[in-house]
Amino acid sequence: MIIGILNSGGDCPGINAVIEGYVTAAYSRGWRVIGFHDGFEGLLPVVGGRRYEVLNLLKTHKIRSLGGTILGTTNTGNFNVQVNKVGRHSLDPQILAKAKKTITALGLEALAVIGGGGSAKTAKLLAEEGLPVISIPKTINNDLCSASDYTFGFQSAVEVVSSSIDRIRTTANAHQRVMVIEVMGDLSGWIALHSGIASSADVVLIPEIEFDLQNVVDGIKERKAAGQREIIVVVAEGCRMNGELVTVFNKDNGDERLGGIGNRLCHLLEPATGIETRYCVLGHTQRGGSPCAFDRVLGLRFGVEAVKLIERREFSTSVVLKGPKVGTVSIDEAVAEPRFVNPQSHLVQTARELGIIFGDRRPQDLRRRQLD
Ligand code: F6P
């Protein structure tokens, strides 16, 4: 049997672990695997060449610890799903036809798509064309679908952010500064919340909990008055200021993307608190580097599970992690509901018990904090 695999959208640590698990499990069944380059673009014909390769054990053995992806990826190109006025997703029919032709010509009996929200929607459209598709959730944001407790990439990002905040804390302490750290997450606050708790942040601002700047200012002042030399503020890129997302707009290509709230917040907090304030945007360091052990194991598990789904011919499905178990849901369910932080969750309650300021309550309404 010949099966295919591709990864699409933003990269993240752990993709190569999925590829290794998938290829190893396929080869142990005597199957062959074709890997497509640069996301779905690899499905399109190119004059005088091809954008795919045969993946074998030699090429994939022990790549589980490699960051990035040996196949390359893209989050632009021909396969971005269009959404019409009534929310119906569609792809350019000619593009879809070319993709189908490639899959048929290669005799693929299945295609695994490692992807985030947008890529999973594209995979769903391929499945609706009758193609045998398995979706494998991937994103550092951990916001993909309510059906999966974790996506690989997330824990690696939390490790990078937590250790970065530990480093930033020493210079903030030396200078008695407020440091604002902007982290990724798209419209979710998972990275900010987990890394903020792990690295003793004073303030954690996430899109799911609307904050009042004055509460943040007063909270910082109270900590400073209590003798704290440094104050750490973690803010997720998808937080709103006065109800508005903070974005950067590229005039040349019209591209608008999240980013800039750290800078904005820094220049509001300094005058308001009277404390020297700097900011740091961790950016793509959160997407880079070798995956942590958790993500290597999860990626390998997802890759092997995808092969077992193919063996059982359970297509139009997505692998997920539910508690300690790897399971599956329909691809429809996988793309239905993104996963956001629940402000009433045990994790948020724990953060509040630990004294983390979310900016939604006045300092006098928070639990008393006596350091001595
Ligand atoms: O969706 C993952 C993500 O890392 C977001 O958190 C971030 O805003 C975006 O991708 C960055 O995309 P790009 O790599 O195209 O700049």
Sheet holding 52-55, edge to edge: 52-55, 32-36, 2-8, 108-115, 133-137, 317-322, 325-330
Task: Report the nearest atom of ligand 1 relative to the CA of 75.
Answer: 15
Half-sphere exposure of 98 (CA within 13 A, CB side): 14
Whole-structure pTM value: 0.95
**What percent of the chain lies above the pLDDT cut of 70?**
99
**Residue 151, pLDDT score:** 95
Res. 82 pLDDT band, cuts 50 70 90: confident
Q: Is 184 in the pocket of ligand 1 (CB under 6 A)?
A: yes
* CB distance 182 to ligand 1 below 6 Å: no
Distance of CA 139 from the midpoint of ligand 1 (Å): 9
Average pLDDT of the chain to the nearest whole number: 94
* Residues 215 and 357 sit within 8 Å (Cβ to Cβ): yes
Give pLDDT, residue 282: 98
Query: Which ligand 1 atom sits closest to the C-alpha of 185?
Result: 6
**What average pLDDT score do residues 187-192 get?**
98
CB of 223 within 6 A of ligand 1: the answer is no
pLDDT tens for 294-325 read 999 999 999 999 999 999 999 999 999 999 99
Instruction: Identify the pLDDT of residue 314.
Output: 97
Q: How far is the CA of 257 from the centre of ligand 1 (A)?
A: 8
Q: In this prediction, what percent of the chain has a pLDDT beyond 90?
A: 83
Three-state secondary structure call for residue 175: helix
Task: Give me the mean pLDDT over the 127-143 stretch.
Answer: 94
124 in contact with ligand 1, CB cutoff 6 A: no
C-alpha span between 1 and 132 (Å, rounded)? 13
Q: Determine the distance separating the centroid of ligand 1 and the alpha carbon of 214, expressed in angstroms.
A: 30
pLDDT digits (tens, 9 = 90+) for 201-258: 999 999 999 999 999 999 999 999 999 999 999 999 999 998 999 999 888 888 889 9
